[in-house]
Structure 1
Amino acid sequence: MLNKLRVTVFGLLIIVLTSYLSYSILNYQVIGVTVSEDEMGQYIVTEVSEEDWGYGRILVGDVITKIDSQPTSSNFTVRKYSHIEAASAIQLIRVEQDGAKQFSLSVEEGIPTDKVIFHFVLPISAMILLSGFSVLVYLKKKDDQAADYLILFFLSIGLAYLSAFSSGRLNPVGQLSLSVTFMLVPVFFMQFMNQYLKRYGEWFVSRGLLKVLYTSIAIILFYLQGKVLTGYHPIYQYASLLMMLFFVITNVYIVYKLIRKYINHRNDNLRSLFKFSLIGQAVGFLPFLLLYAIPSLMGVVLVPAELTAIFLLAIPIVYMYMFMTKQLFDVDFLLNRFFYYVLIAFIPTLIITGLAVLIMSHDNYSWVKWVQMFLTVYMMITLFLFGKEFADIRLRPRFNKDLYNFQGSLDRFSKRISRVMKRADLEKVLEQEILSILPVKQIAFLELNIDKEGHHSSVNANLEKVNLELIEALQTSTQRLSIGMTLSVPQGLCIVIGYKSSTYHVLWIDDKENQTKFNVDELGWLNTLANYSAIVYENLYLIEGLLSDLELEIQKQKGASPWVLRLIFNLSENERRRLASDLHDSALQDQLIWYRRLEEAMKSSIMPSDLYSEMDTIREGLLDVIHQIRETCNELRPPLLKEMGIIEALERLFEEAQMRSNFAIDFKVKPFLEELSDEQILAVYRMVQELLRNASKHAGASSVLIELEQNDVIRLYYKDNGIGMDLREFDNSFQHMGLAGIQERVRSLEGDIYFRSEVGAGFEVLITLPMETELGHIQMSEGGDVDDTNLVS
């Protein structure tokens, strides 16, 4: 209750003070006349300001006899400041060539129309705006001590701006208000920064320095008020200069501290905070310091204070945004673009200005010259736009280094998602890519369900990463969703990356660690990633639907149709090829490297015989492992199968099989009339490979006969003298012996297969394959990222 009372009283004082200052500005205009008392007690005009009412009406040397029908010596502003202000009527004597003449001048009440904008509208608008900022900060952050100093900082700027115009009319309240608030502006800023940086474990200035500054303000105020209380005296002629000097020094120190803080934190997350503060301070105070404050210390005014003071409004706007949103503009992004456009705009500006000066320098120019100027400028701008396209390619990346990162990221992401087979894999790739580019802590994937009426009915999310406030914001959102759309949420950023029927996949990205907002380039990059992801999501859903249809088809037919079998076999061969390539490029190469290093160590080092024998055993073991990996690669993907042809490939297979087994192979083949397709070559090779494996592991045969011929069909005949089998137990033995794959592969090519066997009488298989199937040829996918030519043993 007491706190509310204090806030109410403070607010009323601000309103009363603002109203009084506004009244003093609106009721009087600046006369701008300086006088001095001579030996006879007369007040002689010594200076008249060119910008004010007295210029041209009152001349230097005029004797002011009365002000407002009272003797000049009794006028408050003359007695205290040796200036004439806040007067309604002035009587004077002017000595001319024909003698002395007496004049009576009436000062118009109220502010002149030509000065109402700069002297009243802008200051009162700034005060209202900053007061509104203060109310908003108090309502949102009343428990934050930094908010108190930010409010004082805002109000001190507003009151200093408004008081300056009341002080210019020599109003005592306006002068006192200006003196106090003007010097408190930088001090309140320092205290705000101290409180704000506490959350990051930082200090802006020491408490001892703040005590020194407050003491200095008290001393300067005492000195300034001596001028008002005791009247004009030479001892007080530097009072205003001292106040300006304090303001300049403290603000220069603030800029210095911000630079030091930025340098100290240029490699951590506070870098953007101090850079943002430094730029805001520079934009707000540098025009005032460089164009008015510092020149006024040297007695020169380059730009009027009322114009430079407008830039001061940039500072409260910057800190209002920073304090309330807890996010910063991406300063580097804005500066890079600003410098880039400044660079490319210089030459056309220079040329167009030169042409304008050249044409306008002629006194007589007709409409023809204006048309000529238009055409010239039009052509210049056209050529400039062509040049800008070149500059965007060559120069812009030098100003914005992230362009390379984003392009490289898109190239890398597009290659990685080509291997994605599941939604979890896609989300993992997307998460890795975003975390490698953006300075964010974490991301999460959400599913947003939409009901029939278009409302966001429910959200599925990982509650460990996503808070309930974010989920509620998504559920209450009324935005119509589309791929790449960004959604407004309390923390971070949400972007739609995929959908299926009534379910939308949404990616949530946490706030950036450097507290900057997502810039245009980052949002464009995320939008592109979202569109890529949406395509993959759609393909994954299509694959899931296709697999469901295949399962349904198999259930209906109690067995897969030939085209389904062919598709499965092709997919299986692709996986065999990928696995063989991975084994060859990783495990086999690593084993070879270690084998060579072991050999070099054994040759170059002197070691005991027992250790050498142990190392030699390890070396032989490595050779065996290398051989096994190579053999596995060859089985998974026969090397140069297409290049060698089926006959040469089978002969090589028989040589390797006889080296590992105890049976002899009799291979009979007749010349082919036509070349087999890649699919037929692979099918025949796989079937023979499986038959030999069966002969080695189960048949116990000593001789194997294989015949291969081609006429109107492809005929493959196999016979061994092994233990045979009971065909009445055909199903169980099929699964055990691995012959089911042969039967299914024959079915996939719409061929026929016949078995003949008895226990103790060997095993025979006759396979016939049509040269062309009715379903046509299904080309096995050859991924561009895998090359199996390096699998040659």
Structure 2
Amino acid sequence: MRKKYAIGLCVSIFIVLQIWCSFITFHFPYIGVYVELTPQQQWVIQEMTPESASAKLNLKLGDIVKQVDGKLPDESPTIQKWKAIEKARSLLISRDGLEYEIVVNRNSTTFYDMVPLVEEGVCLFMAVLLFMKMRRSPSAKLLAAVFLTMAIIYMSLGASVRGDVIGKLLIASFMMALPIIFLHFLVIFFKEKGNMELPTRILKYLYAIVIIALAIRSLYFYPPMAKVFRYDGSVTLVFFIIGFVFNMSVLTFLHAKVRKQQSYVSSIIKSVWLSLLISFLPAICFSLLPQLITGQQILNGRYTSGLILVFPISFAYLIASNQLYDIGLVIRRFMFASLMAIIPVSLFTGAYVFLFGQEVDDKQILFIFIGSIILVSSVLYAAEYWTTRLEPFLFPRKYALQFALKKISKNLGTISSFRELKEIILVDIVGTLQVMGGAIVFQYKNDTEIIYEGEIDTSEVQQLVNSSSLLDHPLYTCIEMNSHEEYTSYLIMTRKKTNTLLAKEERQWLQLITTYLEVSLENVHLIRKLTARLHQFASQLPSESAAQDIQWFRKVMFELQEEERIRIASDLHDTTMQDLFFLKRRISTLADKSTMHQEDQVQLKNMNNFVEMINASLRQSCFELNPHLLKEVGLIQTLKMYLEKESYTTPFELEFQAGHAAVIETKDLLTKRHIFRIVQELLNNAKKHSQASKVKFHIMEIDFRFWLFYEDNGVGFHDSNEVHLEIGASGMGIEQMRSRVLHVGGHFELNTQKGNGTKFIITIPTEEVISA
């Protein structure tokens, strides 16, 4: 609660000071006339500030001031304290024996009075932004204090130059406090970001000096003592310069200490040193030091003081955007932009001087040159950012290609099969380029494989690939990708839908795509080879149940197969079958129209029946991939329904007998799924290889064991143990069944001879079944 009251009090004081300084700035013009008392006790004008209102009051050096606001000059508070004429409404002067009365226009606020107010607004905005957004960061709070200190300096500048006591007290005190608060910021900043401990005891003494100086400056309100402090401005400037040099020395010492480490701390110190130099050195060299030494500024402090904002603004941006360690890169980029801006700005300024040389002075030319450098440099620096932001509107085609490149390159990481290569990548490429069709061709030694999308003549492409004339074909854009002993791959695009070839920019984009695609194609090829070898390895696993050290491999293989089957079944159900359902409804709606001819209605109904047949086939395929009935009605009923439905399509008589087998229904779902897959594989092998006229399945339970008998009267074959198994041969299915039986702790027996049919006897214990 006390903290809130303290913050409220500080805010209230700041608002009061802001109102007062603004009132002085806008109510009184900056006259800028300095006088000196001669031995004859006359106040004579000794100096006039060029940017002040004195240039418009017809005053000259050497004029004798007789009265200020109808009173003697000695009675003017600003003359008493600062030997300056400010806050005056009228002057009576004597020149060459003649007296002139000069009325000061109150509405003579100049552009130079607005610059500090703009700088104050920037500082206040950054202080509030830092305090609100990063209040948990101690260094951000101190940087906000640096901004607030600078805001008070800019706020009091207008009142100070007009001879206001409060304005002079504020600007002198906070000018002394600024390097100290900045040093405090550096101490906390390097402790927070670089874990570097700097001595903090000196800060107490420095803050004490500022407080003592503030107390002494309160004597400004006592006019007779104010004469003692006519040189307070010089003392303040000297203290400010010493504080700057001290900060630079601390940074130099830190950099010398850690420069050999080549760490991010070293980069931070170097960047801070450089930013501090760029911000404060111009103000010190061109404004403060010349003021101390000669009494005249080379450049007006209103201009050089603006550069001081570079450091806190840049650090606030870098801290807020987490780019602190890139400040060196930011500075180098801006310096490069400035170098690029020098030549065009110099030509522009030279042309301006040549055309209007007699109408402008040196300060205007300097302002045009420096202002143009800053403006052009800022535009060049921000060009990359704004080009990126406006690219969708300025270069829509380029943006579309880049967006597609990002999407495709991201999706390439998910590709693991040729099917995904078509559905995820090739579809995007064809759609982005707006071509009629595209293909990825794999040319092996004795075979050619083509994955295509859209309208493309695959037979023609295959002939062209085999004849080695594809790369120069006028109707296709072809890029060769992988080329080694096993295969050569090509990416082929037809003409665009507008019947034109791809543009140069699109071909370059396609070349870039292929650099990503080459790696993915090689990975897909290796995945295919690895998968084949894994299947071969699975088929050659030991047939003994005692081989427990490889049970994990069987488990992983079966889980992967089931996951892929369920995924495919879900895809078919959610996409193809839904599309067929909506197609069937659409055909039915058309067929029911009264305006439709009877022949057309018959054709539509036939089409509807054909769609229903396709849908039924897909439904059966989904069931085979994901036998959900195992959980709903149990193993025996699922096998019965499955074999009854298959009996209508098999070329042989299919018989199924189910004896007493109730105990198997109490086992886990994975065991039931293994048994279903075994029956499924037996039936598939019978369809493909048995050439039988009768196939019989029989299940029962005897002596706490589940028995599955299979028998056919087909051609038979040699025992799989006597043949070398190839991927895709019938033996692979037999070994898959053997692996499943062994995995659930069962026994697998095969009896077959060439020409004498085949018998399988599979037993699985029902007391304890190994979980999948």
User: What TM-score comes out, normalization by structure 1 length?
Assistant: 0.45
Larger RCO (CA within 8 A; separation ≥ 6)? 1
